[in-house]
Structure 1
Amino acid sequence: MLIFVTLGVFLLMECVTWLTHKYVMHGFGWFLHEDHHEPGYPHVFEKNDAFFIIFAIPSAGLIYYGANSSHTYLFFIGLGILFYGIAYFLVHDVLIHQRFNWFKRTNNWYLKGLRKAHKIHHKNMGKEDSQCFGMLFVPFKYFKEYKKSN
């Protein structure tokens, strides 16, 4: 049963990410996110990477507290956040922005659709008027052309 808690939290994190991206990163947290929208940012790390820490702290705390108390469900909540963070890293930093030389040539329609939606997000370089704030679930229109070819 607790595995469903982890899965539910993983799915809920997409909503949290969308809201955080739209209202925090493109809102009062723009000072941390802005360098992520600069083309060809020359550094290995971006200020935007601070959001990794922001999400990792509650995950680590929940895992630690849940493993060391009678509230084991907290461990599985933290695990759901952790698994989403891993998925976010692999999809956003590795696949989409190719910050590492892994998975450069994918033919998967779903992954191509995610890349396209994120490119649309970055088409607008500023804080305002962006779209496609999700990471794993984006509007279906970005998958259509790739789904037909597979």
Structure 2
Amino acid sequence: MELAIWFLIFIATFCIMEFMAWFTHKYIMHGFLWVLHKDHHKKDHDSWFERNDAFFLYYAAVSMAFIIIASNTWFWYGYPIGFGIMAYGASYFLVHDIFIHQRFKMFRKANNWYARGVRRAHKIHHKNIHKEGGECFGMLFVPFKYFKKS
């Protein structure tokens, strides 16, 4: 029973993180912390790293905090929450940084309907290089209109 609850908390956390990524992207990255995110919308970078990578560090710290607290207290459900955040971070890194932005030259030939839709949505998002007026702030779950054949 406890393993089933652990797994449900893990899956719920992973799914909630998609909402958190959307919310953070739309209202924080394109809001008061645009100063950290704007270099991500530039085509030319001075470095392989971006100021935008600071958001990864924040969520990594939150994930580690849940795991550390769970290992030192009765708060056992901190494990599935922490690992759910970590799993979402790994997914985000694979899809966003590797697959879409090609920070590592991998998954270049992926061309199924999901890959095309996610790429299309992200491309539309990056068409706008400004703080305001953007669209499609999600990462794994994007609107169905981006999956339609064009």
TM-score range, shorter chain: over 0.9
Q: How far off is 1:64 after superposition? A: 1.4
Q: Is 1:112 aligned to 2:116, yes or no?
A: yes
Matched, 1:121 2:125: yes
TM, length-normalised to structure 2: 0.94
Residue aligning to 2:59: 55
After superposition, the C-alpha distances for 1:88-142 in whole angstroms (9 at most, x for unaligned) are 0000000010110111110221011101100000000110100000000110011
Cα offset, 1:69, TM superposition = 2.1
Partner Cα separation in structure 2 for residue 64 and residue 112 of structure 1: 38
Percent same amino acid among aligned pairs? 53
Distance 1:122 1:21 in 2: 12
Matched, 1:34 2:2: no
Answer yes or no: is 1:130 the counterpart of 2:134: yes
Counterpart of 1:98 in 2: which secondary structure?
coil
State the Cα distance separating 1:61 from its structure 2 match. 0.7
What is the RMSD of the two structures over their aligned residues, measured on CA atoms?
1.0
2:21 to 14, 17, 20: 17
1:102 is the counterpart of 2:102: no
Paired AA for residue 99 in structure 2 = L
How far, CA to CA, are the matches of 2:80 and 2:70 in structure 1? 8
For structure 1, the 5+ residue unaligned runs are none
What runs of 5+ residues in structure 2 fail to find an aligned partner?
A: none
Which of 7, 12, 36 does residue 8 from structure 1 map onto? 12
Aligned ranges 1:72-83 → 2 under 5 Å = 72-83=76-87
For the residues of structure 1 that align with 2:17 and 2:64, how far apart are their CA atoms?
15
1:44 matched residue in structure 2: 48
Matched residues in 2 for 1:68 and 1:83: separation?
21
Q: How do 1:61-76 and structure 2 match up within 5 A?
A: 61-76=65-80
Q: Which whole-Å CA distance do the structure 1 matches of 2:44 and 2:12 have between them?
A: 36
Pairs aligned (count)? 146
Moved over 3 A (4+): none
Q: Deviation digits for residues 62-92 of structure 1, max 9, x if unmatched? A: 0111123221101110111000000000000
